[in-house]
């Protein structure tokens, strides 16, 4: 779900940033809010309470339509939370320098991009000691 959701939210955020540059205080249409909320619902499901960016905000308000700049702030925070969630779930193969999703079934390897907040796991103790010196 992440590999599909993150680029969609990223594109929505880019488009809203462009609109926000022109009219930051312009209200979004109900159509746009529904599209954004559809993606935010998926993000909330994926992130759970631990990684959700806002305690009291789940979706954009469809009745009191948010401004483009408000939506950009919300989407930007969701994108950062998604990256934090992802960074906690990928590992690097220290021998090949490739990044993989940390999947419980070890017979399956799903390669992914390097996370923004990388953490190298799985080095033997000699290699770790050598890096710290």
How confident is the model at residue 118, as a pLDDT? 59
How confident is the model at residue 57, as a pLDDT? 87
Structure tokens at 83: 């990256």
The CB density around residue 105, as the number of other CB atoms within 10 Å, is 6
Cα distance between residue 69 and residue 102, in whole Å: 35
Tens-binned pLDDT, residue by residue, of the chain (133 aa): 888 899 999 999 999 999 999 998 999 999 999 999 999 999 999 899 998 999 888 999 999 999 999 999 999 999 999 888 887 777 666 666 766 666 666 665 665 666 666 555 454 434 444 444 3
How confident is the model at residue 19, as a pLDDT? 92
Beta bridge partners of 67: 27
Structure tokens at 45: 């499901």
How confident is the model at residue 96, as a pLDDT? 67
């Amino acid at each position: 779900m992440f590999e599909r959701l993150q680029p969609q939210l990223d594109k929505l955020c880019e488009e809203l940033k462009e609109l926000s540059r022109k009219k930051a205080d312009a209200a979004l249409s109900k159509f746009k809010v529904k599209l954004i909320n559809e993606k935010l619902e998926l993000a909330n499901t994926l992130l759970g309470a631990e990684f959700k960016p806002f305690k009291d905000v789940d979706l954009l308000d469809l009745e009191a339509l948010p401004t483009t700049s408000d939506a950009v702030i919300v989407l930007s925070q969701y994108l950062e939370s998604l990256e934090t969630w992802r960074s906690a779930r990928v590992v690097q193969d220290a021998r090949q320098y490739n990044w993989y999703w940390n999947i419980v079934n070890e017979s399956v390897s799903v390669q992914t991009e390097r996370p923004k907040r990388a953490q190298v796991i799985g080095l033997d103790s000699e290699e770790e000691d050598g890096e710290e010196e």
